[in-house]
Structure 1
Amino acid sequence: MLYAILAYHVEAEVMSWKPEEDAALMTNLLAVHDRLNAKKLLGPAARLGATAEARTLRGPGAGMVIDGPFAETKEQLLGLYVVNCDNADAALDVARDLRRVNPSAVYEIRPIRLYLPGEALPETAQEGGQG
């Protein structure tokens, strides 16, 4: 089963890190990535760009573009992982491993219901490939 692990953090705190602090965290996170890769659990992972560069499209018709992400929260979504785990508990274990090296981050774990009309990955085929 595929799970998304969404990484939230207070963006101002992350942006305040010195380059060597950020590099040290990334080194630790890459060690977790290596362990997950060795177990063939890690799919795509991304560190998102600054929220100041984000845009939100919402509303009817052509929609309205709003600067930045629109969320009433202290933390912002700054990255994500896609992991292939047997169940939600295993995905939670992966998130705990990430949090051990990045303890001030918040991780949200969600099952992914892949929707490709007429196609399904083996991981989602047992659920009909639609969510």
Structure 2
Amino acid sequence: MKYLLLIYMDENALSETEREKCYVESAQLAQQLSSKGQYLATAPLHPVATATNVRVREGNSLVTDGPFAETREQLGGFFLINAQDLDEAIAIAAQIPGARVGTVEIRPVLEVAGLPEP
């Protein structure tokens, strides 16, 4: 089953040096997962100030800059993985460096017919 592991943390929780170390550790985890056939994708995100939101209401697109909501933690990145079950996904989420300073939300991915294969 596919799981999306969403990494939330305060954007200022890490120094630049700590952030670079986090990227290295995340790449190492991605390599480990890849060797087991569990890796699908991962990426850190640019700061929330670069976000753009689009909402369509009554046929009109409403575009705004910045995050949708003010929160203490922001979405900072993700892993998309294959795991046998939630327990295995939890074990993988616990290895994500961002889990040490933030929160990793685990969401099972719905399989939808008709989507292109990666």
The TM tier, using the shorter chain, reads 0.7 to 0.9
The structure where strand makes up a greater share of residues is 2
Q: How many residues align?
A: 116
Partner residue, 1:125:
none
1:13 is displaced (CA, Å) by 2.5
TM-score (norm 2): 0.85
Equivalences for residues 1-131 of structure 1 within 5 A: 1-14=1-14, 17-18=15-16, 20-60=17-57, 61-99=59-97, 102-117=99-114
Q: Determine which structure has greater relative contact order: mean sequence separation of CA pairs < 8 Å that are 6+ residues apart, divided by chain length.
A: 2
Cα distance in structure 1, aligned partners of 2:26 and 2:41? 14
Over the aligned positions, Cα root-mean-square deviation in angstroms equals 2.0
Paired-residue identity, %: 29
Is 2:7–2:99's contact at 8 Å kept on the other side of the alignment?
no
Post-superposition Cα deviations, 1:63-91, rounded to whole Å, max 9, x if no partner, equal 21121121242100010111001111111
Task: Provide structure 1 residue ranges, at least 5 long, that are not aligned to the other structure.
Answer: 122-131
With 56-65 and 34-43 compared, the bigger mean Cα shift is at 56-65
- Off by >6 Å, runs of 4+ in structure 1: none
The structure where helix makes up a greater share of residues is 1
